[in-house]
């Protein structure tokens, strides 16, 4: 997989009046990432997802792999260093030109458009990398995520996991969410 040099790689945005960078996670984000992971509510984290976000203990190993994983973070640049508000991950599926995706946000920022920004950045980055398809699995009761995926033109696909919806996006089309 090639690394894109286009605008999907890193970009600043204003989100809820705050300056947020949408960019790949880096080794120097390790402490920020650990704090982000610790802020997640384990009861709400869907453990059935095959390719959720990495455990903090696997963070450095994940970043050092051969570009199999793409981790894009929303990093707010507050005074005193900054913090990770959300992470979008694409994990390349072996022997295919596709990746499985997941998006996880801090609970206090859900429902305010940050997931949409991360999804757009991840989809565009994966397209720029030359991937042809993204797939994802979400709990059937997570309407917010299903609606977000449908806004980006993901379609429902068949899956064998009960109470889960499999979603699929061909990357040949525009990844812009419908307004």
Asked if residue 175 belongs to a domain, the reply is: no
Asked if residue 1 belongs to a domain, the reply is: no
- CATH no. for residue 146? 3.40.630.30
Which pLDDT belongs to residue 141?
Answer: 87
Asked if residue 5 belongs to a domain, the reply is: no
Asked if residue 178 belongs to a domain, the reply is: no
Q: Select the more confidently predicted residue: 66 or 15.
A: 15
Asked if residue 156 belongs to a domain, the reply is: yes
Which pLDDT belongs to residue 46?
Answer: 54
Which pLDDT belongs to residue 77?
Answer: 73
CA distances from 28 to 6, 32, 61, 176, 178 (A): 22, 8, 13, 31, 35
For 69-123, the pLDDT digits (tens) are 888 999 997 545 689 999 999 999 988 899 999 999 998 899 999 999 999 999 9
For 138-160, the pLDDT digits (tens) are 888 889 999 999 999 999 987 77
For 155-177, the pLDDT digits (tens) are 998 777 778 899 999 997 555 55
Which pLDDT belongs to residue 43?
Answer: 67
Provide the residue range defining the domain that includes 59: 10-170
Which class for 13: exposed (0-12), middle (13-18), buried (19 or more C-beta within 10 A)? middle
Number of domains in the chain: 1
Which pLDDT belongs to residue 12?
Answer: 85
5, 11 Cβ separation under 8 angstroms:
no
For 14-54, the pLDDT digits (tens) are 999 988 999 988 888 888 888 888 888 776 655 444 456 67
- φ/ψ of residue 170, rounded to 5: -80, 130
Asked if residue 177 belongs to a domain, the reply is: no
């Amino acid at each position: 997989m090639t690394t894109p040099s286009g605008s999907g790689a890193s970009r600043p945005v204003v989100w809820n009046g705050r300056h947020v960078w949408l960019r790949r996670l880096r080794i120097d984000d390790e402490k920020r990432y650990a704090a982000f992971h610790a802020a997640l509510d384990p009861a709400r984290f869907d453990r059935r997802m095959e390719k959720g976000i990495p455990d903090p203990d696997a963070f450095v190993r994940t970043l050092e792999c051969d570009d199999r994983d793409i981790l894009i973070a929303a990093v707010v640049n507050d005074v005193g260093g900054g913090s990770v508000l959300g992470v979008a991950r694409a994990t390349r599926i072996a022997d295919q030109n596709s990746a499985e995706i997941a998006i996880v946000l801090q609970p206090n920022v859900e429902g305010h458009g940050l997931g949409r920004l991360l999804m757009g950045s991840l989809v565009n980055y994966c397209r720029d990398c030359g991937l042809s398809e993204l797939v994802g699995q979400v709990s059937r009761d997570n309407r917010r995520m299903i609606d977000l995926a449908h806004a980006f033109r993901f379609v429902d696909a068949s899956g064998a996991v009960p109470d889960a919806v499999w979603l699929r996006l061909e990357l040949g089309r525009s990844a812009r969410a419908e307004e």
